Structure 1
């Protein structure tokens, strides 16, 4: 293995390199490790150059698709089992590449699917770092007795294989606590994961000013016209039921009805922008459910949906908004609040999970119970332009101090060097 002064060969094993919070962390980690002089290769079971973060296209690190020959589902079922198999195939390919090149990776970064870990331990001599975004067994809803039987061995495998990693990281203190409560056997063995917060790039002041000047030309004409001259509440999340996007709609409706006399409320609109993948039935179905909810609430003309967007469009949406509404409950961490605060926008989030660690209530944003009336009261406060701007400025300073990419990269570099040098 490499000594401390040598640059390392690092591989990433990730299930689906699309456009999500987990993918954002992987891409950020890969970029930062490259910036620290390491050679980085990313391996994934799915990669679409038309639906990815732009950093994956620059050539700073390689991206290799492997394991895609195995299906994502079996008749739209067994998602977890298929993900396990696909990631194990990715792990086998990593081992094959290392064997073919006759040079082992020093560290392999695995996230989301721990089933890849024993394959890597068996077929390579690399140190394995596992990043737990959240225990998968808690994300899977047991829908029936048969489904429970199907999940039981997968859940057991998750705990067993997670514990085999040389080091375990989690994205928040909230997730750390859930990890210890969930994987009790690992906790008894003293395997307590280390908290390692995600990070975001902090835009320069001139970049934010440019986005403010040009957002009308960056966004599609219909959307730009809809947002022009309005107090824009922006929701950014994938179109998945667990993201609780309906709360943004019902909270917005309650604000219009109950706080219409407060400054800025009457001129407010809601834009719901999110990752949308036609391959996923839930994305398609939930989008229709939200459309129906908007019609039921009679909010046509007040709410607009955006199905996926580019990085430039994300910046334009943030520049045109007065605040960002983040609706998931018990979110493991949540990268969107960081992105919003980095752009100088206050955040309204649920008073649970990771946002309680990233959003300072009353200073960089507001935390509220996940009820329409509570969200309505908070949104009405942020409809006040002066207050929103004051909070947004403090939010930007907060993210710069605690969640910058530089601090993230320096710490990750220290972690992988120690791991490669057998000092962890």
Structure 2
């Protein structure tokens, strides 16, 4: 099959990782894949998006992402419509189109090919809360999201948790979406460090508690900081390090301000801290040996893999995370995970409190005291106990969340959609009329771009 992917911004994040993995997985099964995106920064994207593994085409990047920091959803929609027009005008034909995050252009894209929609989470619940004006502002966008999502030929979500939220968010959609779990490439992460891997030269005997998240407030990274601070009285505290690593984009105001706030919190908690923005060419990072907390901004892949291999515990802090790919990456690296007892981790982590030999980590409320207790217990575990839990984590990932499994399920889903479309017929008239309206709007985009 020839399959087009449509994704708003191909940066670094869980949604982007899924899109990359889905595209690579289908490509490995013999299909031709093209990714269309409104933005792809070669210095802030996954390796497969910039090393030629995937055919990535940037379209419709002339419009701004927001206006003075506001109207992000409006401009995201306009940018996607602009991208969609470019795709429709290209002569290439596709058997199917994979769309995720933004559903607005689905009726228009269906003029090109059947649309397979992947819902990471309803956007209406991702929007930041606000007052009456914000609620009124969101009404038309929420209505459009529900209608255009329903217009897709197939819908899947990333977890059973998201499926329950989907039903609440879109009561007028009678279909129950399927579940297609994100994955990790089990062939990618080596069990021993390759040559020329960036190194973190901590003092001998250091135990690292690791957090990997984008620097966004909803990720609740301060939970890891506060929990780590409860260990100050531990006799081996001087040998402990908290590494807060993850996606950071200086263009995103929230990334900048949240990182600053986390630094301030570390200082308030009497934790010394250091911030480094590594580069892929740096083979050794200049670390202060007395630092309690290390901030690593936008870490390159090899360094991330080294951290997963060598850390003692992954502290995965988000509450009600839709799925969470990092716990799978940790499990593949035999690293136990501590996560909140909400959302996707309930489906990926087997709690150690169950007493089962297949336990892969711990699930706790988002409480610094409860998290501090687990951190203390983990650093006092024997190496044999930790290795046993790590082996169970890897086995669970390999058998249930591999790239091959996800690619096969996605391929089956697309083929099933195409069979249903052949039996069902063409695009609804309402969809065509909406598509014509969207075309009329996008015709005005060059003028909009010039005036903004």
Say whether the fold is shared (TM-score over 0.5). yes
Per-residue deviation, residues 70-123 of structure 1 (Å, max 9, x unmatched): 1100111011111111111122221111xx24xx211100000011212212x4
CA separation in 2, counterparts of 1:73 and 1:58? 29
- Is 1:201 paired with 2:179? no
Deviation at 1:228, TM superposition (A): 4.5
- Summarize the alignment of residues 322-341 of structure 1 with structure 2, pairs less than 5 Å apart: 322-341=312-331
Match of 1:29 in 2: 22
SS in structure 2 opposite 1:348?
A: strand
What is the TM-score with the length of structure 1 in the denominator?
0.90
Deviation at 1:148, TM superposition (A): 1.3
Match of 2:332 in 1: 342
Deviation at 1:416, TM superposition (A): 1.4
CA contact (8 A) 1:326 1:349 kept: yes
Q: 2:341 aligns with which of 344, 351, 363?
A: 351
Match of 1:290 in 2: 262
Mark the runs of 5 or more structure 1 residues left unpaired by the alignment.
1-7
SS in structure 2 opposite 1:225?
A: coil
Mark the runs of 5 or more structure 2 residues left unpaired by the alignment.
273-290, 353-358, 424-452
CA contact (8 A) 1:251 1:376 kept: yes
Match of 2:149 in 1: 162
Match of 2:193 in 1: 210
Deviation at 1:392, TM superposition (A): 0.9
- Is 1:72 paired with 2:65? yes
CA separation in 2, counterparts of 1:47 and 1:247? 31
Match of 1:408 in 2: 406
What is the TM-score with the length of structure 2 in the denominator?
0.85
Match of 1:376 in 2: 372
Match of 2:98 in 1: 109
Match of 2:227 in 1: 251
Match of 1:3 in 2: none
- Summarize the alignment of residues 108-187 of structure 1 with structure 2, pairs less than 5 Å apart: 108-121=97-110, 123-124=111-112, 126-186=113-173
Match of 2:283 in 1: none
Deviation at 1:393, TM superposition (A): 1.2
Q: 1:317 aligns with which of 298, 303, 307?
A: 307
Deviation at 1:399, TM superposition (A): 0.5
CA separation in 1, counterparts of 2:53 and 2:197? 26
CA contact (8 A) 2:193 2:306 kept: no
Measured on the aligned residues, the alpha-carbon RMSD in Å equals 1.7
Q: 2:297 aligns with which of 292, 297, 307?
A: 307
- Aligned pair in 2 of structure 1 residues 132, 204: CA closer, same or farther (>3 Å)? closer
CA contact (8 A) 1:227 1:269 kept: no
- Is 1:422 paired with 2:394? no
Deviation at 1:203, TM superposition (A): 4.4
CA separation in 2, counterparts of 1:66 and 1:166? 24
Deviation at 1:266, TM superposition (A): 5.5
CA separation in 2, counterparts of 1:36 and 1:200? 16
How many equivalent pairs are there? 396
CA separation in 1, counterparts of 2:396 and 2:377? 20
Deviation at 1:256, TM superposition (A): 3.0
- Aligned pair in 2 of structure 1 residues 342, 170: CA closer, same or farther (>3 Å)? same
CA separation in 2, counterparts of 1:199 and 1:225? 31
